[in-house]
Amino acid sequence: MNLVKIVSVLLEDSRQFHTAPLLYVRTDGTVCTNTGGSWLLAGPATFDFTTFFNSLTVYKYDKYTVAKGYKLHLELRGAAAVVRQTCVDALDYYSRPQEDSTVKIEESEEWQVVDMDIHYLPSDILVGFSIETKGTIEIRNSYYSALVEDGLLRNVELALSTTTFKKESFILHNIDLIRTQVLGSDEPIAKHFRMYVVDNGRTLDAEAISSDRITVFPNVNVGGSGGFAYGMVKALEARDVTNVLLMDDDVEVSPESIKRTYRLLTIVNDEYAEAFISGSMMNYDEPDIHWEDIGYITSLGFCRAVKPVYRMSVLHDCVSCETFDPEVGPWKDLKQRYAAWWYCCIPMSVIKRKGMPLPLFVRFDDAEYGMRCKPKFMALNGICVWHLAFFMRYNAAVERYQTTRNGLIGQAITGVAPLTNFMTEIKHSVLIELIKFNYDDAELLCEGLEDFLKGPAYFSQKGMAEKLFMDANKHKEKLLSLKEIQKTAKKELGMDLSKIDADRICRDFPLGYTPHGKAYNIYHTQLLERSLNGQLYGNLKPFEGDTAVVEAVGWSYQPGKLYGVQNVIAINVQAKKGIIRHKDAKRARQIWYRFKHDVRVYEREKPRLEAEYRAIRERVTSVEFWKDYLDV
């Protein structure tokens, strides 16, 4: 029987730890760093490590791995203390101490080792431990291990592929963390790990950064899909790589997450041997907020998280995140699942069998690939990255052009989302952009649809993906600074926005300004949308005034404010930028009729287009295509 380390007890001198310490330990004492790699737990106090990072999800490890049992190893020095194992089931809000798994240690200036067998019930989800100390105690080199029978350990060669485009502040920090804490560690992963940095912006000093197990590849700007494909090609060429870990550049990584990924792969069972490991996207600004680990495509064409948003400083949310797996039931589109590529580990055997991603530049490449491969997924507390939330980085070139074009292309080539009609969401997006007088971004939606209609030869030629994305960035609505907007609003509209707050911007009010009956709401909603807010016909009267102040992000829709207005002040709260739009019925009609014409062409040509797109599947998902596309 082998004893395999799987989860280190993690205390780290990081931004996340100092901002959200409850991810690591829950205590009424003080935790601080010490010399020599140990940490001081200053008491008298109780330190409960049954947390997001420092509990062990026995429910998941029993499901995913060949482990036959688990042990806890602690190294402690200092005051007298009592160590207790803890358990948490699906309904617990607090950890339960296991009184029959208690060890008392005396005060000592020497390091003392505590090794405990982990005991738990079939209903338990997490196990952990607490340390009740009478004074200050040090902790170091502590971890959970799995008992694995001889001959069941897998040989793993893990390659991390990250694609970057002028994100030096993030990528250089992550490279340094991986160089020192992964490759510089004394763990097995140090000899079975390599990092590929695909530099689409060609701004990194490749020679200075590259080393024995870190390689920077200067690359043409082929977007995220091209950069990740480059990493896949290099992993295939290496021949010994068993799994490739795809990770965004604009994230903050915990090296322990990478180590846990590697350790999990070494003991994974046959059922999950070809599963994707999907790391959680945590909120960069609020590090304990869990946004997503597994996503799905709705029947209307939206990308959604399977799980609700969780706050992982709350123990019950840690448990719920590990157990939440909704039955499909009436929501059939929940079958259309994928793992996003901010942190996704894929077996090379799957890539060899299912092929490469589509050359989509950005957006829908990870969703299409995940749905095409239809893998099982493994997601675990403590395997994650910190990423800026989506609403913090809204870009119409991505959300209006790329999303429109790529959903249609991906569906046409591989048919990965049979329950989804992407035209439903496209029509809705055009409609609300016109209602908000956002004519530039409405035209981006038309351009995305029209570029799909040009057929597969158009989008798949070299250099075209970058050109089209750059064109979309040039054509999108340009926001101005909030100070400029305030000055113009005062001068042109007589509105004082100097004390505007987020609630006034983001909150809508009911149709009619006060609540009315259902028939009233239906009538006015249909009138608003069918008339494009009075731009096709009608003389809609606003409920409050001629100017609406609304959110600028594309998916925000506030019909109560927008009804019948002549002007819209759209403000991106996070960026402190905005735009003043004026009603232009002539332009609205031109865009609407253009879109309706495009839809008629789409419906008429759909069978031919889908046949043409399907015909290129084998070519554009082949390694040979990508080597030529990337000039590798």
In a domain? residue 606: no
Tell whether the model's pLDDT for residue 76 goes beyond 90.
yes
Distance CA 553, CA 391 (A): 8
Instruction: From 392, 414, 441, give the residue that closes a domain.
Output: 392
179 and 95, same domain (yes or no): no
In this structure, the answer to whether residues 176 and 89 fall within a common structural domain is no
Whether the pLDDT of residue 36 is over 90: the answer is no
Number of domains in the chain: 3
> Over the Cα atoms of the chain, what is R_g?
27
pLDDT in tens, 253-294: 999 999 999 999 999 999 999 999 999 999 999 999 999 999
- What pLDDT band is residue 329 in, cutting at 50, 70 and 90? confident
- Whether the predicted pLDDT of 219 surpasses 90: yes
What is the distance in angstroms between the CA of the first residue and the CA of the last residue of the chain? 45
Q: Could you tell me if 201 and 272 lie in one domain?
A: yes
**Domain that residue 295 falls in:** 158-392
H or E element that contains 207 = helix 206-209
In terms of C-beta density within 10 A (0-12 exposed, 13-18 middle, 19 or more buried), how is residue 607 classed? exposed
Structure-token match 């097995």, residue found: 188
- Looking at residue 220, its pLDDT comes to 92
Regarding whether 351 and 275 lie in a shared domain, the answer is: yes
Q: Name the pLDDT band for 327 (thresholds 50, 70, 90).
A: confident
Instruction: Confirm whether 429 is domain-assigned.
Output: no
Same domain, residue pair 340 and 230 = yes
Q: Same domain, yes or no, for 171 and 268?
A: yes
The predicted structure's pLDDT at residue 62: 98
User: Is residue 632 a part of any domain in this protein?
Assistant: no
CA distance linking residue 595 with residue 602, whole number of Å: 10
Same structural domain, 138 and 234: no
Which CATH number goes with the domain that contains 372? 3.90.550.60
Indicate which CATH number applies to the domain containing 118.
Answer: 2.60.120.430
pLDDT of the residue at 50 = 98
Q: Return the pLDDT at 328.
A: 86
Other beta carbons within 10 Å of 538: 14
Q: Looking at residue 356, what is its pLDDT?
A: 98
Q: Under a CB-based contact definition with an 8 Å cutoff, are residues 191 and 437 in contact?
A: no
The model's pLDDT over 552-591, given as tens digits with 9 standing for 90+, comes to: 999 999 999 999 999 999 999 999 999 999 999 999 999 9
CA 384 vs. chain centroid, Å, equals 9
Same domain for 164 and 125 = no
User: So what's the pLDDT on residue 277?
Assistant: 98
Assess if residue 142 is contained within a domain: yes
Task: Decide: 451 and 439 in contact? Cβ < 8 Å.
Answer: no
Average pLDDT, the chain: 96
In a domain, 565, yes or no: yes
Last residue of a domain, one of 392, 414, 447: 392
Q: What is the pLDDT of residue 34?
A: 85
One domain for residues 294 and 187: yes
Element (H, E) at 19: helix 15-19
Three-state SS at 546: coil
Each residue's pLDDT tens digit, 136-186: 999 999 999 999 999 999 999 999 999 999 989 899 999 999 999 999 999
pTM for the whole structure:
0.95
Domain boundary among 392, 414, 442: 392
Q: Is residue 344 part of a domain?
A: yes
Question: Is residue 64 domain-resident?
Answer: yes
> DSSP strand E in 185-294: where?
193-199, 214-218, 243-248, 251-253, 276-278, 280-283, 289-292
Predicted confidence at residue 545, as pLDDT, reads 93
Question: Same domain for 134 and 236?
Answer: no
Confidence at residue 622, expressed as pLDDT on a 0 to 100 scale: 98
Complete DSSP assignment for 277-343: EE-EEEESSSTTEEEESSEEE-TTS-EEESSPPEETTSHHHHHHHHH-----TT-GGGG-EE--TTE
- DSSP calls for 369-421: HHHHH---EE--TT-EEEE--GGGS--HIIIIIIHHHHHHHHHHHH---TT--
* Res. 468 pLDDT band, cuts 50 70 90: very high
Q: Residues with Cβ < 8 Å from 399, sequence gap 6 or more? A: 363, 554, 555
pLDDT band for position 358 (cuts 50, 70, 90): very high
Looking at the structure, do residues 170 and 90 belong to the same domain, yes or no? Answer: no
Looking at the structure, do residues 240 and 91 belong to the same domain, yes or no? no
pLDDT at 391 over 90: no
Q: Say how many C-beta atoms besides its own lie within 10 A of residue 317's C-beta.
A: 21
User: Is the residue at 491 inside a domain?
Assistant: yes
| Residue range 293-303, pLDDT digits in tens | 999 999 999 99
The secondary element (H helix, E strand) that includes residue 107 is: none
pLDDT (tens digit per residue) in 90-115: 999 999 999 889 999 999 999 999 99
Per the DSSP assignment, residues forming a β-bridge with 253 are 385
